[in-house]
Structure 1
Amino acid sequence: MATIDQCIKSLEGILGDLARNPAAAGLDRSLSCRLPDLRQVVLGRLSSGAVRDLHVVPDEPGVPKADIRLTMSSDDLVALTEGDLQFASAWATGRVKLEAGLRDLLRLRKLL
């Protein structure tokens, strides 16, 4: 099981690359990544070409609902960053769950 520090570093890498993509211009959305195996949720914001305000909260009722929501194991998050796991196959097999509004999903499809 990966540590929360490894997960934050991985998220900064993945989401930073996504935020810097020209297709993400003007994107300003809250995001969350739920890590059930760590019982933690990483919250943050994608805006102005960067990932901002990443912070960790316990995975319990009352966690704010983000515009873009990811759920995966800590090991899968690290594997995505290291290139050992492809997002499309992880999503198709249920290892990664992505929830967002239709407009955000269409935009994210171009970015992923």
Structure 2
Amino acid sequence: MATIEECRTALEKLSDAMQGAEGDVRAAAALDRSVSCHITDLDVSFAGRLTGGRIEVRDTYPGPPREKAQIRLAMAGDDLVALVDGQIHFAKAWGAGRVRLEATLFDLFRLRKLL
């Protein structure tokens, strides 16, 4: 099972990859939205902001997200690490119910370029 630090590192790695992206992926990452990621098996949430092409994690706290972020993710820690490392594909994990993503329809269309 992934640790809280491994999950934080995975989010930082994802953020670095998004900032270094080009073209459509860079445009999709240019959203300015609140973000939360609930790690279900650890029952911990990361909350922050997608801004400037990066995910800035501002808070980490026990339990589900305290506020409803504009972009909400939920998954097991191992799945987060595997997604960021390229070991599993987002669409397959989402289709299998291993990853939950909630956002407005507009944001989902923009985010699909990242996934």
TM exceeding 0.5:
yes
Matches within 5 A, 1:49-88: 49-60=53-64, 63-88=66-91
Decide whether aligned partners of structure 1 residues 63 and 3 sit closer, same or farther in structure 2, where only a CA change above 3 A counts: same
1:31 aligned partner: 35
CA offset at residue 26 of structure 1? 3.9
Normalization by structure 2: what TM-score? 0.86
- Aligned mates of 2:83, 2:43 — CA distance in 1: 19
CA RMSD, aligned part only? 1.7
SS across alignment from 2:41:
coil
Residue segments in structure 1 that go unaligned for 5+ positions in a row: none
- Is the alpha carbon distance of 1:33 and 1:100 closer, same or farther for their aligned partners in structure 2, counting shifts above 3 Å? same
Shift in Å at residue 20 of structure 1?
4.5
Amino-acid identity (%): 50
Quick check: 2:38–2:75 contact (8 Å CA) kept in 1? yes
Q: What TM-score results when the alignment is normalised by the length of structure 1? A: 0.88
User: How far 1:88 sits from its partner (Å)?
Assistant: 1.0
Tell whether the 8 Å contact from 2:49 to 2:57 is kept in structure 1 after alignment.
yes
Matched residue type, 2:110: R
**Residue number in structure 2 paired with 1:106:** 109
Q: Give the aligned partner of residue 5 of structure 2.
A: 5
Deviation at 1:49, TM superposition (A): 1.9
Instruction: Compute the displacement of 1:25 (Å).
Output: 5.8
